Chain A
Amino acid sequence: MDAQSLTYLFVALSFSLYIGIAIWSRAGSTKEFYVAGGGVHPIANGMATAADWMSAASFISMAGIIAFMGYDGAVYLMGWTGGYVILALLLAPYLRKFGQFTVPDFIGTRYYSTTARVVAVICLILISFTYVAGQMRGVGIVFSQFLNIPIFWGVVVGMAIVFMYAVLGGMKGITYTQVAQYCVLIFAYLVPAIFISMLITGIPIPQIGLGAEVADGSGLSVLDKLDQTLTELGFAAYTQGAKSTIDVFAITMALMIGTAGLPHVIVRFFTVPKVSDARKSAGYALIFIALLYTTAPAVGAFARLNFVDTVHNTQYSDVASWFKSWENIGLIGWEDKNQDGRIQYHPGAPFEGKPTFGPERRADGSRDVLNTPTSSDNEVYVDRDIMVLANPEIAALPDWVIALVAAGSLAAALSTAAGLLLVISTSVSHDLLKKTFARGLTDKQELFAARLAAVTAIGIAGYLGIDPPGFVAQVVAFAFGLAAASLFPAILLGIFDKRMNREGAITGMLAGLIFSLVYIAYFKFVAPETNSADYWLLGISPEGIGTVGAVINFTLAIVISRCTAPAPDHVLAMVDNIRIPSGVSQPQDH
């Protein structure tokens, strides 16, 4: 079988597995729909959390970003794992003891206010939609790349699958499919990584291979060789960063506390039976996540080394076939500026913008790039996202590995999309309808509303995936900043500061959210030409501004709460209750 038939086979097999699980675990009550009945084993929940968490961005893009950023890639590695320490120590056990269904549930109850609940719902929907659109897009791209299906139909198939298990199964269906999806995606990530580590260093463990000597007789370690090769070509050394220390600090912090404030991650800890299980579950989740996150830097470094080795100063006619196949898709472009017939790879953009190609091929068979060349020596355009997807081809791995990577990236994108869609639909049916605007709903009606909201959310997400307005892709990374600046401080203070009250929390959330939104919007849309360190506040980029937003949120909330009336007694009793693992959660209908 060729690579494409194998890919069809793997994708079809994994999809039927997900659908089978969805039918087996159909939800019958709102409790099953929202929190899987609250009876998921911590290890299963850990896997589900890991799959929920690791999106198309983690699976497809991260190693490529690290490959091209070198040291600076650490902001994602530490940011997206360190958040789990915060989550496990500061939020998960207490929220589990609280024992309701959603994040706005907690905020609405703790701050005894429908306004607080609605503000939390707005933050949640804003965060989740920016995130989910990127996932559907990821699904579309994988379909079009590996299966030659147009992006439109790719997204439609993805929507249909998510519909099956999110709408029918709710949290219960999602949890058990995510367990399966985790297994698929981690296997698909590790297999090529191990192969490539063997190839380059002779050591099968990528985490160790990254520090090992390159098996080419040079006696240099992988990282030393990378540093040497890249500086010779004029790049900064791989192990040195290009970002300022304060920016690296701010971005890492924003990603960490943003992770801890992401509603679709938090809600996973409502699904386990007990407080002690919530703690364990966060630990297992981080093990499962760390497996991929400690492999990614190795994949990134190997990929960069391989890329330079095979591409730089190579005659176009002799270059490896993967170079040409990605050139055909338009994610690689080559402009022979010095007319020597060889590919030169140097820092800087080779030409302005993404490549557009003329209809005719050049004499050597390469595609004719129409863009205006820049004055740099660099002749190659390469899209960072291809690194993980192209890795099996670059390392000449068997076809089944390529098929596996396709199935793995779909698992990563679908599992995250489903988790996000669930929190969106839950917050609409539970927080906006049942708890705010339509209090008389029966359990059955609420379940129906939840399914209806899920269908609507899938429709909108699909539309955003097929026809993304220019801003969507750019905004995905900012979901973290928004979560860091809005929800995280309100939840944390709600648990650890008994003096915190309604007035402080609402002001803090709104101030943090609006500040970060305005800052991001200004540098991304209003005046993108000024988006550089010279103009940034304290030298902090829009990616890291959530940290400042969170500081503003904390400060305002604390100052204002001290000037206004304290929280009522039944709320204080509730805070006392969630601080202790044992005993029953208090009923919170009031």
Chain B
Amino acid sequence: MKQDNHGYWKANLRILGALLSIWFIVSFGFGILLVEELNQIPFFGFKLGFWWAQQGAIYVFVALIFVYIHLMQKLDRKYGVSDEDDSSEEQS
């Protein structure tokens, strides 16, 4: 194997692990499991737990995907496996 595909995959899994932890914490953590506790805290006219469940989690989801796109672009280039340049990829 000419590229370090194993190293690339490991780094990829680390990125996924970090981002999915955030995904879990904001939705299932803040929005569901901790909602009662967070609701004690006022937040711009919302109760904080309610805000996470009906607004905040969704904004974080969007941000997570764009952070992922950015991190993966960097990782792809670092390991020389980026597809940004092969514009005329032939598919079966």
* A residues in contact (CB < 8 Å) with B: 38, 66, 71, 73-74, 77-78, 81-82, 84-86, 88-90, 93, 99-100, 207-208, 210-213, 221-224, 239, 241, 245, 248-249, 252-253, 256, 273-276, 279-280, 282-283, 286-287, 290, 293-294, 297, 576, 579-589
Q: Which residues of A contact B46 (CB under 8 A)?
A: 210-211, 221, 223
B27 near A89 with CB under 8 A, answer: no
A276 near B84 with CB under 8 A, answer: yes
B47 near A286 with CB under 8 A, answer: no
B68 near A78 with CB under 8 A, answer: no
**B54-68 interface (Cβ within 8 A of A):** 54-55, 57-59, 61-62, 64-66, 68
**B16-50 interface (Cβ within 8 A of A):** 16, 19-20, 23, 27-28, 31-33, 35, 39, 43-47, 50
A582 near B82 with CB under 8 A, answer: yes
* B residues in contact (CB < 8 Å) with A: 3, 5, 8-9, 12, 16, 19-20, 23, 27-28, 31-33, 35, 39, 43-47, 50-51, 53-55, 57-59, 61-62, 64-66, 68-69, 72-73, 76, 80-84, 86-87, 89-92
A439, chain B: closest CB distance, angstroms: 16
Complex: chain A residue closest to B43, CB-CB: A211
Contact of A249 among B9, B28, B43, B80 (CB under 8 A): B28
B65 near A585 with CB under 8 A, answer: no
Given contacts A88-B65, A290-B62, contact A211 B54 (CB under 8 A): no
Cα separation A279 to B74 with both chains bound (whole Å): 13
Most buried by A among B9, B32, B87: B32
- Other A-B contacts than A212-B45, A276-B76, 18 sampled, CB-CB below 8 A, are A71-B35, A71-B53, A74-B53, A89-B19, A100-B92, A210-B45, A211-B44, A211-B51, A213-B45, A221-B46, A248-B32, A252-B31, A276-B82, A279-B65, A279-B72, A283-B65, A294-B55, A584-B89
B3 near A580 with CB under 8 A, answer: yes
Contact of B89 among A207, A241, A273 (CB under 8 A): A273
Most buried by B among A66, A81, A576, A581: A581
B68 near A89 with CB under 8 A, answer: yes
